[in-house]
Amino acid sequence: MLNCLIIGSGISGLSTALALRKAGHAATVYEAYPEPSDGVGGFLTLAVNGFDALETLGLKNAARRLGFSTPRMSMYLGSTGRHLADFNYGGTLPDGTTARTMTRSELYALLRNEAVERGARIEYGKRLQAVEEGSDGVTARFDDDTIASGHLLIGADGLRSAVRPLIAPSSPQPRSIPLLNTGGIVPAGRGPALDVESGRMKMVFGKRCFYCYMPDPDGRIWWFANPLQRSSGNAAELDAPALKNWLTGLVSGDRTPMAAIIEATYGIITRT
Ligand SMILES: Cc1cc2nc3c(=O)[nH]c(=O)nc-3n(C[C@H](O)[C@H](O)[C@H](O)COP(=O)(O)OP(=O)(O)OC[C@H]3O[C@@H](n4cnc5c(N)ncnc54)[C@H](O)[C@@H]3O)c2cc1C
């Protein structure tokens, strides 16, 4: 049995812990944040290859209860309303599983709870600072002046990984591009009538912004938008009413209900 140190308790770190437990190894996850990230983040679509991976971990059926089925997407031009293309989002597995859209938080909670249930340990408030390799394993140093030793260390610490430059110093750095990702979920009964059915994501190349919206079977509307950063000021720092105003202005010339969708959103949930 190996004693494995995993850095980062996001989707990849927790999945890795589950896989190592399944293979009979000890797994401890070290997370920089002081507490679990329940309720944090936006939403994502888990494609069928992701469900295949979860099946290996014995979690496909549990994950099929999260979110709602979104096997189709369509592309449109916002200025004219012209239909450009339809796609299937990765097809359908033999048991009928399709891509599903879910909050990042509910997928995270499933993986975290199962990892703990199956014997993985998670330690919070442990930001990796340095790694030392010895003849019998590896030692991780954290910013709270503690250390942990194991047979191997796995970097699952995201885009700005601390592990990656330690083990692959010449690996490329993340690049910043001037696009904002923002989105929200409109409660049932508050949004406008939509021109798309549940199960299909409507993606629109608007005159001034790319965006997507879709209804879920309960009548809520899930949406995201990718505007270019404003030429003056950082859009990610706008307060919620100002962000809403700015976004509404970007989409109001399009032949879609997007302006009314943004207007009906209580809180804009992601601004990355
Ligand atoms: C807006 C948006 C929409 C997306 N939509 C989709 C989608 O539809 N479908 C899809 O499959 N993917 C989607 N993605 C991508 C997907 O969300 C990410 O690829 C995935 O969440 C990355 O998970 P991760 O565990 O690798 O990293 P992260 O979630 O970034 O987790 C890394 C963890 O490591 C911790 N950490 C960082 N540094 C340290 C350190 N030094 N020491 C200890 N811990 C550390 C962090 O606090 C964090 O908890 C989307 C991403 C965004 C931003």
| Tens of pLDDT, residues 89-125 | 888 999 999 999 999 999 999 999 999 999 999 999 9
CA dihedral 138, 140, 141, 144 (to 10 degrees): -150
Distance 72 CA to ligand 1 centre (A): 24
pLDDT value of residue 131: 95
Distance 156 CA to ligand 1 centre (A): 9
**pTM for this prediction:** 0.94
Pairing of strands 83-88, 72-77: antiparallel
pLDDT value of residue 34: 97
Alpha-carbon distance of 221 to 244, in angstroms, equals: 16
Joined tokens for residue 161:
């990984």
Distance 91 CA to ligand 1 centre (A): 25
Question: Ligand 1 in contact with 45 (CB < 6 A)?
Answer: yes
What residues contact residue 260 under an 8 Å CB cut-off, 6+ apart? 191, 192
For residue 147, the cross-strand partners are 141
Question: Ligand 1 in contact with 270 (CB < 6 A)?
Answer: yes
